[in-house]
A and B are shown apart, each in its own frame.
Chain A
């Protein structure tokens, strides 16, 4: 009976909420939000035609690419490899959501930060590379080289930033399971409010948490290759970089994978740094509204950066990430180990 219930929860979490169906919807709505907001910043209209204020445009784009458009196979391409690679990325992102308290089936383990890195950092990156090289092209190679170069500084930044609240919680609250995504998401709100640790420690905690959030947002911007870090797909010199040869359903899944990465990384920021629905719980109106507001705020910051900046050259992008994200996150990480 217990096993049946567990299987039911697993299927619900994997396919419905927060799994494939919900993540699909949220990620495409996020794409609409990004496109519409950037359009307003640039004095354009953005998506308008499909659905009220164009909200269904990304859905129409996806289904048109999947159902109507056809993919063109070139001499050296492997469509199945591209779909499998994109599918692994989508699967890893979907499964990764079960580490967070938003899932009806919560997968919890001490030190499950390793699984977080495996599912949400490692696999999406490998998937991107594999999907790209399934359709080889000089522009793709150029784009992938740049993506790998960016990853050298982006991925350590994400890990260092995420470890900051985890370190603080592991050192400060012995009743909390250490380095667990679920428990960190629940306990992180205590870091923002717990003044009993002393004024100096409290202020330092706030500062390093804010530094870690800023670093994480910059790293997210770079990981999902939004401006100013979209040099791997710079259209003026690389056509579309790693996505040059994609067409039809392959491109539909690739875009979906990209949008899901944005959505999951925003959810990770909302939970690991801002405590998800805190100070409310998940099953209250206040909790749901708080969660949505936090999600939209982080999405808006990422969108505003995307709309406000021009593209950096690859060396400029790496230098900026090192200076404003990697080094501050490592300093915050070291401080989190000693306070």
Chain B
């Protein structure tokens, strides 16, 4: 009742892309066959909807999509950023040393753990 095709990942990727393209064609055909465009357009309908404002408002300063995106990321990771900055910039050399040894220590522990796991379990 079922056919199982055992492929290599690359062939599978190509075959599934072909299937994606076939469905894409089906969707385009459906749209072409059934979709209708509004022909009775006025000046109001062809301008973009900006809450009733005229398009010229876009010449004003407006945050770019990049700015919107980074603002969100910065806001989310503000706590982490503050912690890192404050840990580094106290003005005491000893704090800097402590901070750096903390990171090197963490990397050292990580390296030792990976080595131990590799010895105990092997790479697979």
A residues with a Cβ closer than 8 A to B are 5-6, 9-10, 14-15, 19-20, 66-67, 70-76, 79, 83-84, 86-88, 90-92, 94-96, 98-99, 101, 103-112, 114-115, 118-119, 123, 136-139, 141-142, 144-146, 148-149, 152, 182, 239, 244-245, 247-250, 253, 283, 314-315, 318-319, 322, 338
Q: A20-B23, A112-B9, A318-B72 are in contact. Are A144 and B46 (CB under 8 A)?
A: no
- DSSP class of A's interface residues: helix, strand, loop or mixed? helix
- DSSP class of B's interface residues: helix, strand, loop or mixed? helix
B1-29 CB contact bits vs A (8 Å, 1 = yes)? 11111111101110111011111111110
Instruction: Check if B61 is an interface residue, CB within 8 A of chain A.
Output: no
Query: Is the CB–CB distance between A91 and B19 below 8 Å?
Result: yes
Query: Is the CB–CB distance between B16 and A104 below 8 Å?
Result: no
Query: Is the CB–CB distance between A115 and B23 below 8 Å?
Result: no
**How far apart sit A162 and B6, CA to CA, in the bound complex (Å)?**
21
**How far apart sit A318 and B9, CA to CA, in the bound complex (Å)?**
33
Instruction: Check if B85 is an interface residue, CB within 8 A of chain A.
Output: no
Whole-angstrom distance from the CB of A37 to the nearest CB of chain B?
29
**How far apart sit A24 and B11, CA to CA, in the bound complex (Å)?**
27
Query: Is the CB–CB distance between A91 and B76 below 8 Å?
Result: no
**How far apart sit A119 and B25, CA to CA, in the bound complex (Å)?**
17
Size bin of chain B's contact surface? 35 or more
Query: Is the CB–CB distance between B72 and A106 below 8 Å?
Result: no
Residue of B nearest to A15 (CB): B26
Query: Is the CB–CB distance between A107 and B16 below 8 Å?
Result: yes
| Cβ contacts under 8 Å, B21 to chain A | 91
Residue of A nearest to B29 (CB): A87
Instruction: Check if B75 is an interface residue, CB within 8 A of chain A.
Output: yes
Whole-angstrom distance from the CB of B81 to the nearest CB of chain A?
13
7 A-B pairs whose Cβ atoms sit less than 8 Å apart in the complex: A5-B3, A15-B26, A83-B35, A84-B24, A96-B16, A105-B5, A145-B65
Which of B4, B30, B36, B117 is within 8 Å of A338, CB to CB? B117
Q: A20-B26, A115-B13, A248-B35 are in contact. Are A74 and B5 (CB under 8 A)?
A: no
